[in-house]
Chains A and B, each alone.
Chain A
Amino acid sequence: MPRVIVDENRCCGAGLCAQELPDVFDQGEDAVVVVLEENPPAELAERLEAVTFACPSGAIRLVRE
């Protein structure tokens, strides 16, 4: 499973990630993305890809080790 990495400096806070996958992402102070689950379960893989693509600021990265 990929690991979720975010770049808080890039995030523009639209909150698409937290809306789509509330168990993985949240929005913290100033609406900036917060990762709740860095290693999400495999069944979320497809939706994680979708959210990563939809993020308007390119702030989410999925890293496969």
Chain B
Amino acid sequence: MAPASSLPDLPRSRTHPFHPPPEYEQLRKESPISRFLWPNGVEGWLVTGYSEVRTLLADPRLSINRFNSPPPSVSVVKDRKPEAMLPRSLVAMDPPEHTPWRRAIVKEMTPRWARSMEPRIAAITHEYLDRIREAGQPADLVTDLALPVPSRVICEVLGVPAADQAFFQEQAEVRSQVGAPPEKVNAATTALYEYLGQLVADKRRTGNREDVLGRLVHAEIAGEPAPQDIVVGQAMLLLIAGHETTANMIGLGVATLMDNRELIADLADTAKGTALVEEILRMHAIIQWGIIRRATDDIDVNGVRIAKGDWVVCSLSSANRDESRYSCPHLVDPGQPQAPHLTFGYGVHQCAGQSLARTEVRVVLRELFATFPELRITVPVEELRYRYEMWVYGLYECPVVW
């Protein structure tokens, strides 16, 4: 048993499903970098201020590498067996190792490319909207639209056959459950890993360079041929990161617009729709507890000392509500002067798929409300089931009629 901690427990109860725990407000004002005991018994810093989060995420002394020890977590499974070895990917690499991999991946997903994807995303969206109309009311937008559209898109981009997407959804869901039995998580990880290993090997063997995975497996990284196991790791990251996050953002976007119906019209215009989606993204930093780093050296910042080896969790959801940056931090107001939100993180790991995600959220919401202008959720948004205990926040279901 570790000695009992004298630190306060991490505040983590929401009072409204759209807002982070109310304690964050006082923390931002009084101690934007402070230490807490996390539910799994690990101590770690919680960073809640906008400028503090940015400063620390840009600091090269904070590593994304976990050095094989358990990070702060909201999972209460304390004696967790070691997780199945995850293949390495961008989110386990610091610069300089990170840099060439990052470039090989982001060059596939530039803002210009994301714009060119708009018609394809709209076409996929309409396939699912047609099915929803045919199946009749009510529909669950999470399973019938928000999950399958980003899944189809990322599968096509990477070069994963669409026929396998149900399998992916299932495995990704298991992996992201806080408190899921470790055996289940390990089985899901292994299943995904084996599938992708096969796919990547096929692309290498057949010389396929027609999709992102095909190009990645034939790429040179820092002057060497890309090792196949790391390509599989990156593939796994792209699939998981590119699917569930966007799906949850779409669900929360619909819920948010229920209370702000006058904003729906903005979606029809690209510039206004883009600004609206930025506000929806700001309101919902769905990596809800924040992103985790580890100090590789002592860091003196704002009068506190983060010691070498300490865990640091940067709260994106708190930073996005910082009163010193936003005039109405808790309201959706596309007109307010915008400080860039931190929902996609900050620093060299800032989301590689952000341009695609922005386009997907905007196009799916636009086509949804263009097709069903009277769409509404069947219960008040406060009564929906939210993913409180999941690492990626969102809705479990979104029952709608039109």
The chain A residues found within 8 Å of chain B, CB to CB, are 12-16, 18-19, 27, 29-32, 50, 53-54, 56-58
Contact = CB atoms under 8 A, between A and B. Distances in A.
A30 B107 contact: yes
B340 A13 contact: no
Given A30-B107, A53-B340, A58-B58, A15 B355 contact: yes
B107 A14 contact: no
B402 interface: no
A54 B344 CA distance: 12
Contacts of A18: 110-112
Contact of B350 (A14, A27, A29, A53): A14
Contact of A56 (B103, B111, B346): B346
B106 interface: yes
B46 interface: no
B107 A13 contact: yes
Contact of A54 (B103, B340, B345): B340
A58 B290 CA distance: 21
Nearest to B58: A58
Given A12-B102, A19-B355, A56 B107 contact: no
A31 B103 CA distance: 6
A-B pairs, top 4 by smallest CB distance, nearest first, are A56-B350, A19-B111, A13-B106, A31-B107
A31 B99 CA distance: 12
Contacts of B348: 12, 56-57
Contacts of A14: 106, 350-352, 354-355
B104 interface: yes
Contacts of A13: 102-103, 106-107, 110
Interface in B330-380: 339-340, 345-352, 354-355
A57 B106 CA distance: 14
B346 A27 contact: no
Interface in B299-357: 339-340, 345-352, 354-355
22 contacts: A12-B102, A12-B106, A13-B103, A13-B106, A14-B350, A14-B354, A15-B106, A15-B110, A16-B111, A19-B355, A29-B107, A30-B103, A31-B106, A31-B107, A31-B110, A32-B103, A50-B340, A54-B340, A56-B345, A56-B348, A57-B348, A57-B350
Given A13-B107, A56-B348, 8 more contacts: A12-B348, A14-B351, A14-B352, A15-B106, A15-B111, A53-B340, A56-B345, A58-B58
A43 B104 CA distance: 35
Contacts of B103: 13, 30-32
Nearest to A59: B348
A53 B325 CA distance: 13
**From B58, B340, B345, residue with most partner A Cβ within 10 Å:** B340
A12 B355 CA distance: 14
Contacts of B349: 12
A58 B107 CA distance: 19
**From A14, A30, A50, residue with most partner B Cβ within 10 Å:** A14
Nearest to B110: A15
A50 B339 CA distance: 8
Contacts of B345: 56
Contacts of B352: 14
B104 A30 contact: yes
Contacts of B104: 30
Contacts of A56: 58, 345-348, 350
Contacts of A53: 339-340
Contacts of A19: 111, 355
B226 to A, nearest CB: 14
Contacts of B106: 12-15, 31
Nearest to A10: B348
A19 B58 CA distance: 22
Contacts of B112: 15, 18, 27
